[in-house]
Amino acid sequence: MVDVIKSNIPEGELSKKWTNYKSSANLVNPSNRRNLDIIVVGSGLAGASAAASLGEMGYNVKCFCFQDSPRRAHSIAAQGGINAAKNYQNDGDSVGRLFYDTIKGGDYRSREANVYRLAEVSVNIIDQCVAQGVPFAREYGGLLDNRSFGGVQVQRTFYAKGQTGQQLLLGAYQALSRQISKGSVKMYNRHEMMDIVILDGKARGIVARNLLTGEISRHSSHAVILASGGYGNVFYLSTNAMGSNCSATWKAHKRGALFGNPCFVQIHPTCIPVSGEYQSKLTLMSESLRNDGRIWVPKKLEDAKRISLGEISPSDIIEENRDYYLERRYPSFGNLTPRDVASRAAKERCDAGFGVNLSGQAVFLDFKDSIKRYGKEVIESRYGNLFQMYEKITADNPYKIPMKIYPAIHYTMGGLWVDYDLQTNISGLFAAGEANFSDHGANRLGASALMQGLADGYFVLPYTVSNYLANDIQTGKISVESKEFSETEIKVKDRINYFLKNNGSKSVDYFHRKLGKIIWENCGMSRNKEDLNSAIEQLKTIKDDFWRNVKVTGRNNHLNQELEKAGRVADFIELGSLMCHDALNRNESCGGHFREEYQTEDGEALRNDETFSYVSAWKYNDENLSPKLFKENLIFKNIELKQRSYK
Amino acid sequence: MNLKLKVWRQESSKHKGKIVEYKVHDISPDMSFLEMMDQLNQSLIEKGQDPVAFDHDCREGICGSCSMYINGQPHGPENMITTCQLHMRSFNDGETVYIEPWRASTFPIIKDLVVDRSAFDKIIQAGGYISVNTSGNSQDANAIPIPKENADSAFDAATCIGCGACVATCKNSSAMLFTAAKISHLSNLPQGQVESSSRVISMVNKMDELGFGNCTNTGDCAVQCPKGISLDNIAKMNREYLKASLKSEK
Amino acid sequence: MSKNTIIFSSSLGKKFVMSLTGLFLCSFLIVHLGGNIALFTSKDTFNEYTKFMTSNPLIRFMEIILVLGFLTHIVDAILLYIRNKNASNTKYIFDKKKSSISSRSMALTGSFILFFLIVHLRSFWYEYKFGEVIYSEDSNGNQIKDMYHIVTSSFESPMYSLFYVSAVILLGIHLNHGFQSAFLSLGLRHKKYTPFISLIGKLFSFSITLGFISFPIYFCLKNFNLW
């Protein structure tokens, strides 16, 4: 029997829920706020905006990041843009439309009330960011410009060239810096959260390691917010930053927090293909390129072969012999189909042997027609920096030779399960941004990650955290001398000592690469029962091998990047296994989760709303036992479930 | 290809550092510079030695973590890129490559090639922001039209990634380009006007207090900036500062 | 520190001072060069010009300003130099700068110019004021100090001329960066006008160098009866 969990969605009509919540939520009076401590782990869009906003309200905030500055969080790398239902282009956009697009884009696996709230506050985000000085792109009349993005038919994406994430993060970073200078936020750079401390069932603090000195410190608080990002690096090769990791959320999970939809990961269709064994990460080319680029492979197998061997150039292939497969399969959305659909279509062509590089894992993204239509200058003004980046990496000039692209892991929709308040099942433990299982269901639309991160941090958590803390005003300062803190600290130290003393023979990267390969091949763009079962077995072996044979050089009491990686990879191995369990449980195909057993005759995903219209929330079981499944049933009252079609 | 690396190794800020020579083999020209460093580190770990510490994170040229002085230039021989975007095809087989950390007294070395750039955060904390509280009631984003060219220059200045190459390459270890970029970004926007005087004064004072050198307008910073931040920003900061200090009644 | 002087004590304030005094000293160079052209005319014209320059009250007053200008420029330069050295106390093992040599050697060229200035004052100003000077008659028959003689006899020494020429070349290098740099320090930079200012700067430093070099060359040629 599977337990069912509740998401605390407020009563009332969908469009009034958030308004009602705000007007009836508990408040903390300003003079009490300064006696309440909040810990924020992570300083990306969600973490920095939450820390800044809560600091501004008068709470005592401590913010932790492993980078040398909060400005380096990986939100900075988001290129394309941020969605908001402003309808500045008068093309029929509205909060309702954004809500609908997000639910549909997520393949009907997200919670209506959360998504509606997201769409509702999206407009405030743009206002807030402009007020902070975020230099969004503007038209000659001085008003904000918009572009369109995959999966929607309106222009609602605000952008700042190809660096929207950077500009938004710097906005949040500046807001955070303002609070740091005021003393309301204390920043802990180069600190990694090692574990969460639970007191009487409530999250009451963390244990952190100073990455420069190895010092382990205890920090107590009345609430803990995890905004530590996604777990894409479980694949080893991903578009995530090298340091992006799942350890904070995984530690919370091991302490009892449910992990929602771990198998929902997003494969981004336009990344630069892998060039060799040594590859350490993959580079994304913004989805916005699909506005003007056309994706194709040769129609004839022998052409594909000759191109990949370098015998002929792509421009030698005449129009009739090119297969613009997205336009062919999805005439109404064409090259702008959602990410999961575009990625799978690329994989389908490459698996059939039409790949255009030596590994057979690349398709063309061609700007020839757009350059002909608009001229090189226009294309350059739109994508100049992306083209330059591409050329630096591949030494090919995309103005002349079509880009080669291939899907890569980019974002994880899964994460800690949270209720309407963004609170996990552990009281006082909140999760925001990519770290929570989020509002994106089984697939996230382009330009929605920035929107969600900022919505959570700026506009949701300030209300919901206050609502929670209103019951804590009598608690007083929480001591770090308790048994729970000591035990957690000892556990953390034991693990560090284990790594340093384990005289193994294989580097951390060796295991990480192996893990990545297993997950990519068995729990990547398409999955099946047999592979998933085999992956779970393989991961057991890897885990065993890792703990026996991992080699960590250096000491604890100075900067030791190998030690940092060891802890993170240990957690990734366990998380990888949970992903496979989740993928195995979900006997349907939806969004980023494609089970080969469940597809239509023409290869489209076959969803099963009857049986799987739920969020799978997993509870950590003992080390050697399988995780336990809880379900949150998704109830759609305002939207009709349809088979997603972009044809 | 094979390379001879001369890498700066330093245990900590308290220890003395020195150049240590390593040889790396079978480097692919398609590798990024940091992947070459990864390969070196894997071979060091196999031998049981301490790998070379270096800052890196996004590996796509935007987080500003990577900070290596390669063959006498920050981020290496190519223009407009960071170390992580540098590829080995920019080097020749058999070449000797010097790899050093950023050097400036305001950027103390933490270990090997890792330096402490927290001074940059302190400059931003001194006023590199617009004081606006989070609220769902800010005025509509389109309420104040901003001329496209102002928005564009604000954006160009705001693309600074805070990597510190400007300080590293400046013979005076001056942080003028970094500071000016933020001042210029905000003062180009109507929202940033309100605090423009106090901002420029307190940011410049903070920069001085932290011990950064002065600008002698040699322009190395702008040449080496991976994001192409222009000297125009320094001129703008100078104007803003002059205006602010003349106007100030304090 | 008084709040009014904060502008001068900050890093940017010092830059303003450097550029303002620098530009002022540039204007002095023009006047100085213009006056020296009298050397090409005749002994009497030059001596009368010297007499005028050393006796006119307005010029004497400007002389004080000039000295202050020099001192401020020098003291400020030393303060900046110390600050910059402290900020960059460790050097790279291997360094490749891309900026111009003239911009990177301002302190060096400046120091040499200062040294030259002292020698220069010693050989001309000091001699004229306190040395044993020959007198000559001006057009009105009055006895005036023969500055022309001091100049010619100085340039008789090839070593001195060589020293003079090299100092002027270094001055040119100093100006080549200094002139346009002053505008940048004052915040005067504009996409349209800056290339023009750079051009003026180059022309200015080139003509000043050429102008001052012309004197030792002229006297050298004269000595060998080639003029």
Dihedral sign (CA A34, A39, A40, A42): positive
Last residue of a domain, one of A408, A438, A455: A408
Residues A138, A145 contacting (CB under 8 angstroms): yes
* Residue A602 within any structural domain of the chain: yes
Q: Cα–Cα distance between A562 and A508 in angstroms, integer?
A: 7
Angle between helices B232-247 and C158-185 (to 10 degrees): 70
Q: Do chains A and B touch (3 or more CB pairs under 8 A)?
A: yes
Say what the pLDDT of residue C106 is: 95
CATH label of the domain that carries residue A512: 1.20.58.100
What's the CA gap between A432 and A224, in Å, rounded? 11
**What DSSP element (H or E) covers A394?**
helix A376-394
**Residue C177 within a domain:** yes
- What count of Cα atoms within 13 Å lies in the side-chain half-sphere of residue A493? 11
**pLDDT reading at C196 higher than 80:** yes
Interior angle at CA A294, CA A289 and CA A296, nearest 5: 125
Q: Give the model confidence (pLDDT) of A35-61 as tens digits.
A: 999 999 999 999 999 999 999 999 999
Per the rule left: phi > 0, alpha: psi between -120 and 50, beta: everything else, A618 is: beta
Give A138→chain B minimum CA distance, Å. Answer: 6
The rounded distance, in Å, linking the Cα atoms of C18 and B246 is: 17
**Residue contact A278–B28, C-beta within 8 A:** yes
* pLDDT tens digits for range A70-91: 999 999 999 889 999 999 999 9
Q: Which helix (H) or strand (E) holds A632?
A: strand A628-633
Q: Do chains B and C have 3 or more beta-carbon pairs under 8 angstroms?
A: yes
Which fold, B117-130+142-247? Fumarate Reductase Iron-sulfur Protein; Chain B, domain 2 (1.10.1060)
Q: Which residue of B has its CA nearest to A130?
A: B141
Say if residues A290 and A81 touch (Cβ distance below 8 Å): no
Nearest CB partner across the interface for A553, out of B50, B110, B124: B50
For residue A300, give the 3-state DSSP assignment. coil
CB contact under 8 A, B245 and C6: yes
Nearest to A144 among B89, B129, B142 (CB): B142
In a shared domain, residues A388 and A496 = no
Q: Which position has the token pair 């705001």?
A: B158
Report the candidate in C130, C122, C129 with the shortest Cα–Cα distance to residue C154. Answer: C122
B22 touches chain C (CB under 8 A): no
Quick one: which H or E segment has residue A3?
strand A3-4
Q: In what order do the strands lie in the sheet with A363-366?
A: A265-271, A403-412, A363-366, A294-298, A322-323
Could you report the per-residue pLDDT of A577-626, keeping only the tens digit for each? 999 999 999 999 999 999 999 999 888 899 999 999 999 999 999 887 89
Give the separation between CA C180 and CA C170, rounded to whole angstroms: 16
Chain B segment 211-250 residues within 8 A of C by beta carbon are: 211-220, 223-224, 231-232, 234-242, 245-246, 250
Tally of structural domains, chain A = 2
Count of beta carbons in the 10 Å neighbourhood of residue A394:
18
* A68/B116 CB distance under 8 A: yes
DSSP 3-state of A211: coil
* Residue percentage of chain B with pLDDT more than 90: 95
Which pLDDT score is estimated for C191? 87
pLDDT digits (tens, 9 = 90+) for A461-493: 999 999 999 999 999 999 999 999 999 999 999
Q: How many CB atoms lie within 10 A of CB C38?
A: 18
CB B113 within 8 A of CB B8: yes
Of chain B residues 109-168, which have a CB less than 8 A from chain C?
none
Cα separation of B164 and B102, whole Å? 8
Q: With contact defined as beta carbons under 8 Å apart, do A195 and A207 qualify? A: yes
Q: Could you tell me if residue C4 is inside a domain?
A: no
pLDDT above 60 (res B173): yes
The pLDDT, as a whole number, for residue A319 is 94
Looking at residue A172, its pLDDT comes to 98
- Judge if A400 and A495 occupy the same domain: no
Residues of A with CB below 8 A from B164's CB?
A: none
pLDDT for residue A2:
63
Q: What's the domain range around C197?
A: 10-85+104-223
Q: Do B125 and A180 touch (CB under 8 A)?
A: yes
**Which of C4, C80, C99 should we substitute to test contact with B (largest number of B Cβ atoms within 10 Å)?**
C99
Q: Are A329 and A345 in contact (CB under 8 A)?
A: yes
For chain A, the chains sharing at least 3 beta-carbon pairs closer than 8 angstroms are B
Asked if C130 reaches chain B (Cβ–Cβ under 8 Å), the answer is no
Domain containing residue C36: CATH number: 1.20.1300.10
Domain residue limits, chain B: 3-110, 117-130+142-247
Dist CA A274 CA A271 (whole Å) = 9
Q: How far is CA A562 from the centre of its chain?
A: 24
- Judge whether C51 lies within some domain: yes
Site from B49, B63, B121, B198 to mutate, A interface, most A CB atoms within 10 angstroms = B63
DSSP secondary structure of A319-375: GGGEE-HHHHH-TTTGGG--HHHHHHHHHHHIIIII--STTS--EEEE-HHHHHHH-
Q: What pLDDT is stored for residue C227 in this prediction? A: 67
Instruction: Yes or no: say if B31 and B11 are a contact pair by the CB < 8 Å rule.
Output: no
pLDDT of residue C1: 40
Determine which of A404-408, A565-569, A633-637, A639-643 has the lowest per-residue pLDDT on average: A639-643
CB B170 within 8 A of CB B217: no
Contact A392 B135 (CB under 8 A): no
What is the predicted pLDDT for the residue at A6?
87
Name the residue among B103, B214, B223 with its Cβ closest to that of C98.
B223
pLDDT of res. B248: 79
What is the C-alpha radius of gyration for chain A, rounded to an integer number of angstroms? 24
Question: Which residue matches tokens 């606006």?
Answer: B132
Cα–Cα distance, A506 to A502 (Å, whole number): 11
Chain C interface, best mutation among B152, B170, B172, by max C CB count within 10 A: B172
At residue C5, the pLDDT reads 56
A309: CATH: 3.90.700.10
Confidence of residue A286 (pLDDT cuts 50, 70, 90): confident
A160: nearest CA partner in chain B: B155
- Please indicate, yes or no, whether residues A402 and A498 belong to a single structural domain of this protein: no
A59 domain-assigned = no
Quote the strand ranges of A125-233, DSSP E. Answer: 157-158, 185-188, 191-199, 202-210, 216-220, 223-226
pLDDT tens, position by position, A383-403: 887 898 899 899 999 999 999
Please check whether the domain covering B3-110 is classified as CATH 3.90.1300.10: no
Q: State which residues form the domain around A610.
A: 483-633
Report the distance separating Cα C110 and Cα C130, nearest Å.
27
Burial (CB < 10 A; 0-12, 13-18, 19+), residue B121, is: buried
**Residue A63 predicted with pLDDT over 50:** yes
Q: Do C83 and B73 touch (CB under 8 A)?
A: no
Residue C2 lies in a domain: no
Closest CA to A385 of B161, B68, B124, C98: B161
> Which entry of A71, A290, A339, A586 is annotated as an active-site residue?
A339
Contact present, A509 and B42 (Cβ < 8 Å): yes
pLDDT tens for residues A208-263? Answer: 999 999 999 999 999 999 999 999 999 999 999 999 999 999 999 999 999 999 99
Q: What is the 3-state secondary structure of chain C?
A: CCHHHHHHHCHHHHHHHHHHHHHHHHHHHHHHHHHHCHHHHCHHHHHHHHHHHHHCHHHHHHHHHHHHHHHHHHHHHHHHHHHHHHHCCCCCCCCCCCCCHHHHCHHHHHHHHHHHHHHHHHHHHHHHHHCCCCEEECCCCCEEECHHHHHHHHHHCHHHHHHHHHHHHHHHHHHHHHHHHHHHHCCCCCCCCHHHHHHHHHHHHHHHHHHHHHHHHHHHHHHCCCC
Which of A408, A432, A451 marks a domain boundary? Answer: A408
Q: By the CB < 8 Å criterion, does B207 face chain C?
A: yes
The pLDDT value recorded for residue A587 is 98
Q: What pLDDT is attached to residue A153?
A: 85
Helix (H) or strand (E) holding A392: helix A376-394
Cβ–Cβ pairs < 8 A, chains A and B: 215
**Antiparallel, parallel or unpaired: β B3-9 and B18-24:** antiparallel
Contact residues, A window 369-408, toward B, CB-based 8 Å cutoff: 388-389, 392-393, 395
Task: Give the Cα separation of B197 and A363 in Å (integer).
Answer: 53
Query: Is C209 in contact with C172 (CB distance < 8 Å)?
Result: yes
* B-interface mutation test, from A68, A282, A394, most B Cβ less than 10 A away: A68
Q: Is A294 a catalytic residue?
A: no
To the nearest whole Å, the CA of A155 is away from the closest chain B CA by 16
Best mutation target, C4, C82, C91, C94, to test chain B (most B CBs within 10 A): C94
Contact at CB, B56 and A562, closer than 8 angstroms: no
Helix (H, G, I), strand (E, B) or coil at B111: strand
- Mark yes or no for CB contact B216/C83 under 8 Å: no
Could you tell me which chains touch chain B, where touching means 3 or more CB pairs under 8 A? A, C
Which B positions 43-72 lie with beta carbon below 8 A of chain C?
Answer: 69, 71-72
User: A573 in a domain, yes or no?
Assistant: yes
Residues 71-130, chain A, touching B (beta carbon < 8 A) = 71-74, 76-77, 86, 88, 121, 124, 126-130
Which H helix or E strand runs over A522? helix A508-522
In a domain, A221, yes or no: no
C185 found inside a domain: yes
Residue C180 has φ and ψ, to the nearest 5°, of: -70, -30
Q: How confident is the model over B212-237, as pLDDT tens digits? A: 999 999 999 999 999 999 999 999 99
Instruction: Yes or no: say if A282 and A238 are a contact pair by the CB < 8 Å rule.
Output: yes
Distances (CA, A) of A61 to A47, A48, A173, A219, A555: 11, 11, 15, 11, 31
- What integer pLDDT is reported at residue C2 of this predicted model? 45
pLDDT in tens, C135-155: 888 777 788 889 999 998 899
Q: Do C104 and B173 touch (CB under 8 A)?
A: no
The pLDDT score that the predictor gives to residue C6 is: 60
Q: Is residue A1's pLDDT more than 60? A: no
Is C169 a member of any domain?
yes
> Of the segments A143-157, A278-292, B37-51, which one has the largest average pLDDT value?
B37-51
What values do phi and psi take at A197, rounded to 5? Answer: -110, 125
CB contact under 8 Å between B69 and C92, yes or no, is yes
Looking at residue A261, what is its pLDDT?
A: 98
* A397 and A276 inside one domain: yes
Q: What residues of chain B lie within 8 A of the CB of C1, using their CB?
A: none
pLDDT at B100 over 80: yes
Q: Considering A408, A441, A462, which residue would you say is the last residue of a domain?
A: A408
Say which DSSP state B186 is in: H
CA B27 – CA A100 distance, rounded (Å): 50
Q: Which residues contact A310 (CB under 8 A, 6 or more apart)?
A: none
Q: A460 CB contacts (<8 Å, ≥6 apart)?
A: A117, A121, A422, A432
The answer to whether the CB of A496 falls within 8 A of the CB of A556 is: yes
Residue A596: closest CA among A539, A536, A523, A645? A523
